[in-house]
Amino acid sequence: MTVSRGFRVCLALSVLLTALLVTSIVAGRVWIPFRVLTDPADPRWLILSELRAPRTLLGVMVGAALGLSGAALQGYTRNPLADPGVLGVSSMAALGAVVTLYFGLAGAAGWVLPLFAMGGAAAGVVTLILVAGPAGDAVSFLLAGVILGSLATAGVALALTLAPNPWAASEITQWLMGSLADRSFDDLRNSLPFVVVGAALLMISGPALDALTLGETGARGLGVSLRRVQILIAAGVGLTCGASVAVTGVIGFVGLIVPHLMRRLVGARPAGLLVPSALAGACLLLAADILARVIPGANEIQVGVMMAALGAPFFLALLLSMRRRLT
């Protein structure tokens, strides 16, 4: 029953995603009619191929990466408030990226910055696992995440302020409030392979995440190697989340909201949430980005700001409903 239901939800999400893909290509400051798709001579073809297409595909990739890593982190921590943003993993990735800018390493090759971002994210997850301890309960995980996030955010600001860079202030916001605007196919090429490998690792961890429903001792009794799950999660979240942040900066709350919504549709089994969360993450980020583009204003709103505006109240509502259940 759950299987067929999950399948139906995935199908519906795929349809929604396709619709959003088309909308994302068409919508924006300049609306592009469909016939341009087959007419490379049209001047708007350039907007389509150089701006809209990479932006849309990046939105799908990053949204899916964040949704998936959120679902995996919630499964691992057994905490519905976990998410790469809340736990400071995204900020650690941003710190890793910014460090390469500060030391001028990023120019050496296209893969240096993503590599450091992924390293930062993986280091973040490892720190969380170490700090929260083997019995890592919900509260110590969140606290460790808050500390990690604050430190990394301060590190980003510090590096960019000290850097010989007249645009420090705007760069800081770029990294801490991510955006999909003005990205190229190169960005996609530099990140997609890592996201794919990371996603595969997280998918492999599925049965172990299910077993963790019984707690760490229970999971071990079911033959699950905790070390193996920890490595899979650290590497998987490091790759997906790090590679995403390297291209777009920190976009929060996708990984928080999406698994929560999906849990209502497909049930709470952690492994069953992975694929729907990836699809729904892609839908959510793409929708938010379309919204950010079409809202009139002098400057385009960053999609990271958009997600924070949507996500923070959601986080609050979630906290309140959890508290109501506990008392």
Partner 1 sequence: MTTPIDLIAEGLTVKLGGAAVVDNVTLTFCPGKVTAVVGPNGAGKSTLMTCLAGVRRPGAGIVRLGDAPLPELTDRRRAQAIGYLPQTPEVAWPLDVRTFVCLGRTAHRGLFGAGPADVRAVDQALEATGLKTFADRIVTTLSGGERARVLIARALAGEPSWLLADEPLTGLDVGHQLDTAVLLRRIADAGAGVIVTLHDLHFAARAADRLVVMVAGRVIADDAPVDALTPKVLATAYGLDAHWVEGADGPLLDVAWRRTAPRD
Residue numbers at the binding site for partner 1 (CB under 8 A): 2-3, 78, 204, 206-207, 210-215, 217-218, 220-225, 267-270
C-beta closer to partner 1: residue 44 or 220: 220
Q: In angstroms, give the least distance from the CB of 326 to partner 1.
A: 13
C-beta closer to partner 1: residue 155 or 270: 270
| Cα(64)–Cα(52) distance, integer angstroms | 18
Q: In angstroms, give the least distance from the CB of 40 to partner 1.
A: 43
| Cα(187)–Cα(193) distance, integer angstroms | 11
C-beta closer to partner 1: residue 1 or 41: 1
Rg (the chain; Cα; Å): 19
C-beta closer to partner 1: residue 137 or 182: 137
C-beta closer to partner 1: residue 29 or 264: 264
Q: In angstroms, give the least distance from the CB of 118 to partner 1.
A: 24
Q: In angstroms, give the least distance from the CB of 80 to partner 1.
A: 9
Q: In angstroms, give the least distance from the CB of 6 to partner 1.
A: 10
C-beta closer to partner 1: residue 204 or 312: 204
The 3-state secondary structure of 218-284 reads HHHHCCCCHHHHHHHHHHHHHHHHHHHHHHHCCCCCHHHHHHHHHHHHHCCCHHHHHHHHHHHHHHH
For residue 206, the one-letter residue type is G
Helices (H), the chain: 2-26, 44-46, 53-77, 89-102, 112-132, 138-162, 168-176, 185-204, 206-211, 215-221, 226-248, 254-266, 270-294, 303-326
Residue 150 CA neighbour count, 13 Å, CB half: 5
C-beta closer to partner 1: residue 155 or 206: 206
Q: In angstroms, give the least distance from the CB of 8 to partner 1.
A: 16
Q: Cβ of 3: how many Cβ atoms within 10 Å? A: 9
Q: In angstroms, give the least distance from the CB of 89 to partner 1.
A: 21
C-beta closer to partner 1: residue 191 or 205: 205
Q: Cβ of 154: how many Cβ atoms within 10 Å? A: 12
Q: In angstroms, give the least distance from the CB of 125 to partner 1.
A: 19
Residue 197 CA from chain centroid, whole number = 15
> Counting Cβ atoms within 10 Å, is residue 237 exposed (0-12), middle (13-18) or buried (19+)?
buried
Q: Cβ of 155: how many Cβ atoms within 10 Å? A: 19
